[in-house]
Amino acid sequence: MSVNFIKPHRFVVAFLCCFLWAGISRSQNDNSKVTEPNVRFGKIDPAGFSQKSALHDSTAEAVVLYERGDVHFSMAGNDIQIVLEYQTRIKILRKAGYDRATVEIPLLKAKSGPAEFVSNIEGFTYNESGGTIQTDKLTKEGIFTEKVSGELSIQKFTLPDVREGSVIEYRYRLTTPFSVNHNPRTWKFQQRIPVAWSEYRINVHDYFYYKMIMGGYLRLAINENQPGTQSYRFVVQNAPAFRDEAFITTPNDYISKIDFELASYSIPGAFPHKISVSWPDMDKTLLAENIFSGQLNGQHSFLKDAARAIIKTNPDTLSRLQAACRFINSQVVWDKSNSFYSYNIRKAFEDRKGDAGDINLMLIALLRQMDLPANPVILSTRSHGHIMEEYALLRQFNYVVAHVMVNGKDMLLDATDPFLKTGMLPFECLNGHGRLVVGRDSRFLPIIPAERETEVAGGTFTISAEGDVKGVLKKTNNGYSGLKHRRQYVVDGEAGYLENIRRNRPAWQITSVEFNNVKEVEKGFEANYTLEIPEACQRAGDRMYIKPMLTEARFSNPFKEPERLFPVDMGVPMEETYFSTFTLPAGYEVEEAPKPMVMSLPENEGRFTYQVTVEGNRFTVTSRMLLRKARFYAEQYHVLREFFDKVVAKQAEQVVIKRTGPVAEKK
The pLDDT tens digits of the residues spanning 280-322 come to 988 998 999 999 999 998 778 899 999 999 999 999 999 999 9
Measured from the Cβ of residue 576, the count of other Cβ atoms closer than 10 Å reads 21
Give the DSSP per-residue string, 205-250: -TTEEEEEEEESSPPPSEEEE-TTSSEEEEEEEEEPPP---SS-S-
Do residues 413 and 422 make contact, with C-beta atoms less than 8 angstroms apart? yes
Do the domains 280-446 and 12-274 match in fold? Answer: no
CA distance to 66, 70, 113, 159, per residue, from 236 (Å): 11, 15, 37, 26
Question: For residues 55 and 391, what is the distance between their CA atoms, to the nearest angstrom?
Answer: 35
Do residues 98 and 71 make contact, with C-beta atoms less than 8 angstroms apart? no
Nearest to 111 by CA among 155, 149, 144: 149
The one-letter amino acid at 260: F
What region, left, alpha or beta, does residue 603 occupy, with left being phi > 0 and alpha being psi -120 to 50 degrees?
left
Nearest to 381 by CA among 250, 568, 247: 250
**What does the longest C-alpha to C-alpha distance in the chain come to?**
104
Secondary structure (3-state) at 526: strand
* Domain covering 280-446, topology: C8orf32 fold (3.10.620)
Domain spans, the chain: 12-274, 280-446, 453-659
Give the contacts of 183 (CB within 8 A, at least 6 positions apart): 82, 210, 260, 261, 262
Question: For residues 649 and 639, what is the distance between their CA atoms, to the nearest angstrom?
Answer: 15
CA distance to 584, 585, 615, 656, per residue, from 467 (Å): 10, 9, 20, 12
**Would you say domain 12-274 falls under CATH 2.60.40.3140?**
yes
Question: For residues 83 and 234, what is the distance between their CA atoms, to the nearest angstrom?
Answer: 18
Which burial class, exposed, middle or buried, applies to 657 when counting CB atoms under 10 A from its CB (0-12, 13-18, 19+)?
buried
| pLDDT < 50 stretches in the chain | 1-29
Do residues 403 and 365 make contact, with C-beta atoms less than 8 angstroms apart? no
Q: Where are the beta strands (DSSP E) in 56-116?
A: 62-76, 79-92, 102-108
- Phi, psi angles (nearest 5°) of residue 89: -135, 130
Q: 453-659 belongs to which CATH class?
A: mainly beta
- pLDDT value, residue 7: 28
- pLDDT value, residue 113: 83
- pLDDT value, residue 667: 53
The one-letter amino acid at 363: L
- pLDDT value, residue 112: 80
- pLDDT value, residue 83: 97
Strand order in the sheet with 433-436: 409-413, 399-406, 375-379, 433-436, 443-446
Q: How far is CA 445 from the centre of its chain?
A: 20
Do residues 653 and 594 make contact, with C-beta atoms less than 8 angstroms apart? yes
The pLDDT tens digits of the residues spanning 229-264 come to 788 999 999 999 998 888 999 999 999 999 988 877
- pLDDT value, residue 66: 96
Exposure string of 21-32, with b = 16+ CB inside 10 Å and e = fewer, is: beeeebeeeeee
